[in-house]
Amino acid sequence: MKKIIVLGGGLAGLSTAVSLCSQNYKITLLESSPKLGGRTYSFYDKNLLLNIDNGQHALMGCYKFTLDYLKKIGSLNNLVRQDNLSVTFVDETSKLYDLKAEGRLYPLNFLNALIKFRLFSFSEKVSLIKIFSKLLFLRPSDYLRKTIEEWLIEERQSAKVIKNFWEFLAVSALNSSIQSASASMFISILQEVFLHGNKATAILTPKNGLSELLINPAEIYLRKHDSEIKLSESVKGLVVSNNKIVEILTDKSNYKDFDAVISAVPYEAINKIVELGAKNFLPEYSSIVSIQVKLQNNPLNDDYYALVNSPIHWVFNNKTHLSLVISGADGFSNLPKEQISAIAKEELAKYFRISEDNISGTTVIKEKRATYVPNADFISNRPGSVSHIDNLILAGDWIDTKLPCTIESAVKSGYLAADIVKRIF
C-alpha cells in the first residue's frame, strides 16, 4: 500500500485525502491548527449564543467537484437546493425585484426572467440579454488583459446595469473589484454557470453549517478508511535529496516512510518551506467581511437577498440569525468592528425596516486574506499541480484550476492532485 502524506487540512487537503483513501492509499494528514477546515468552518459564538459560520458561503449547481466530494462523504442531503435560479433583489426603499427562472426550458426560462426583471428598463434588459447571448462564442483568453469594467464598457452596458447587476455578480463570484479582476476569469465563470442548464445556475446553501456540510463528514469518512489525522502539528521543514522529499520535519515528529507528499497549504506557507520557483507569481489578497446578526423576531421569508446600492452584497437568512456579506471588502476590513456593526444595522433598517430594538446581538468576522485577486498576472502565473520536486504535488485554491479562489477551486485542486498520485504512484 502506497503511503501519502497530505500537508494541510483545509478543503484542498480534505478533498485530496478523501479521493485517495478509498483507493488503496494510506493517508496521513498533518494540520497545524487544532481543527480541520482551514478558512471554512463553523464555531459556537459566545456573544450570540449560536453556532455560526466563519463567513457565509453559497455554492452553485455547477460546482461539480464539490458536489462529488459531498456525495463521497455522504453530506449531499445537508444542502438546500434550488430547482432553478431565483434571487430576490432589494433596493433602499425596501422594494423587491425577483429574478426568477421558472419552468424547465432553459435558457428560455432564464431569458424570460431577465425580461421580467423590473429593476431595469427595457433597453437595459436588452443589453443584458445581448451579453448572455454572446457567451457561447466568447474565448476567455482573448480578454485576459482587459478588466471586467473595461469589457462591460466595451459591451455598452449602462452605468446602472454595471453597478446593480454586473458588479454585484462579479464581486460576489470573484471577491474582487471589477477594476482589478480580469474579464477572462469572469467570462469563464459566466460560461460555466449560464451555459449548462437550470441545475448549473441554481444556488445551494448549507442546511446547518459549513462544518456539518463540508468538514465533519469528511473527518468521519477519513477515519473510517483508516487515515491518520494529526492536528496541531506544524511542518518546519522538508529534507530533499536527489530531487525527492525524503523526510518531513514537524514540531512533534519526523516522517520518513512515505511515497509522495501533497502540499495543500497556502502558497506563502509552502514557499517558505521549499522554494517553488514561481518567481513571477506575486498574488494579491482580497478580503471578506461578514456580520452575523441575531434578531428577536425575524421578519424575513426568503433564504437570501441581494442588496442594490448597498455596501452589503448579500443577506442570508439562517432563521436563528442573519448573515450579511461584504465581498471584496478591502475598504471595510480595517474599520473597527463596532463601526462595521453600525453600518450593518443601518442597512437592515433601510432595506428591511428592521429596527435596532429588534437586534439582540452582532458578531463581525473579518477574513483579510480570504482569496487572491484574479487579475491578469495571477491568472498567467498560477502554478500547476506538478512541482519541480518529483514526489511533491501541489493543491490549494491558488493553483491553476481555471477557477477563482472559491470552495470549488480548492476541492478541484485536491482532485487534480489525487489524479496525479493515482497515475504516478
CATH number of this structure's domain 2-40+209-280+374-424: 3.50.50.60
Gap between the Cα atoms of 187 and 380, Å rounded: 16
The region, left, alpha or beta by phi > 0 then psi within -120 to 50, assigned to residue 379 is: alpha
Q: How confident is the model at residue 7 (pLDDT cuts 50, 70, 90)?
A: very high
Cell numbers 522538508 correspond to what residue? 238
Residue extent(s) of CATH 3.50.50.60 domains in the chain: 2-40+209-280+374-424
pLDDT at residue 29, rounded to an integer = 98
Q: Amino acid identity, residue 407? A: I
Residue extent(s) of CATH 3.90.660.10 domains in the chain: 44-63+73-80+283-372
Strand partners, 239: 247
Q: What is the mean pLDDT of residues 81-85?
A: 91
Q: Inform me whether the pLDDT recorded for 290 exceeds 80.
A: yes
Q: How confident is the model at residue 275 (pLDDT cuts 50, 70, 90)?
A: confident
Residue extent(s) of CATH 1.10.3110 domains in the chain: 105-198
Task: Supply the DSSP symbol for 14.
Answer: H
Q: How confident is the model at residue 279 (pLDDT cuts 50, 70, 90)?
A: confident
Cβ atoms of 10 and 33 closer than 8 Å: no
Q: Inform me whether the pLDDT recorded for 201 exceeds 80.
A: yes
The mean pLDDT value of the chain amounts to 96
pLDDT at residue 100, rounded to an integer = 96
pLDDT at residue 373, rounded to an integer = 96
Q: What is the mean pLDDT of residues 215-225?
A: 97
Q: Inform me whether the pLDDT recorded for 55 exceeds 90.
A: no
pLDDT at residue 375, rounded to an integer = 96
Peptide bond preceding 206 in cis form (omega within 30 of 0): no
Q: Inform me whether the pLDDT recorded for 180 exceeds 90.
A: yes
Sheet of 235-241: strand order equals: 235-241, 244-250, 254-255
Per-residue buried b or exposed e for 337-372, using 16+ beta carbons within 10 Å of the residue's own CB: eeebbebbbebbebbbebeeebbebbbbbbbeebbb
pLDDT in tens, 158-168: 999 999 999 99
Q: What is the mean pLDDT of residues 14-25?
A: 94
pLDDT in tens, 298-323: 999 999 999 999 999 999 999 999 99
pLDDT at residue 24, rounded to an integer = 87
CATH number of this structure's domain 105-198: 1.10.3110
Q: Residues near 226 by Cβ (< 8 Å), separated by ≥ 6? A: 21, 26
Cell readout for 321 is 440569525
Q: How confident is the model at residue 277 (pLDDT cuts 50, 70, 90)?
A: confident
Q: How confident is the model at residue 178 (pLDDT cuts 50, 70, 90)?
A: very high
pLDDT in tens, 182-191: 999 999 999 9
Q: Inform me whether the pLDDT recorded for 56 exceeds 80.
A: no
**CA–centroid distance for 213 within its chain:** 14
Q: Residues near 72 by Cβ (< 8 Å), separated by ≥ 6? A: 18, 19, 221
Give whole-number Cα distances, 115 to 99, 109, 358, in Å. Answer: 9, 10, 37
Gap between the Cα atoms of 416 and 12, Å rounded: 10
pLDDT at residue 262, rounded to an integer = 98
Q: How confident is the model at residue 278 (pLDDT cuts 50, 70, 90)?
A: confident
Q: How confident is the model at residue 283 (pLDDT cuts 50, 70, 90)?
A: very high
| Percentage, residues of the chain above pLDDT 90 | 95
SS3 3: strand
Q: Inform me whether the pLDDT recorded for 122 exceeds 80.
A: yes
Q: What is the mean pLDDT of residues 118-133?
A: 96
Cell readout for 200 is 448549473
pTM of the model: 0.95
pLDDT at residue 22, rounded to an integer = 84
Q: Inform me whether the pLDDT recorded for 116 exceeds 90.
A: yes
Q: What is the mean pLDDT of residues 145-163?
A: 97
pLDDT in tens, 327-345: 999 999 999 999 999 999 9
pLDDT at residue 14, rounded to an integer = 98
Gap between the Cα atoms of 201 and 385, Å rounded: 28
Q: Which fold has domain 44-63+73-80+283-372?
A: Polyamine Oxidase; Chain A, domain 2 (3.90.660)
pLDDT at residue 335, rounded to an integer = 97
Q: Tell me the DSSP string of 364-424.
A: EEEEEEEEE---HHHHHH---SB-SSTTEEE-STTSS-SS-SSHHHHHHHHHHHHHHHHHH
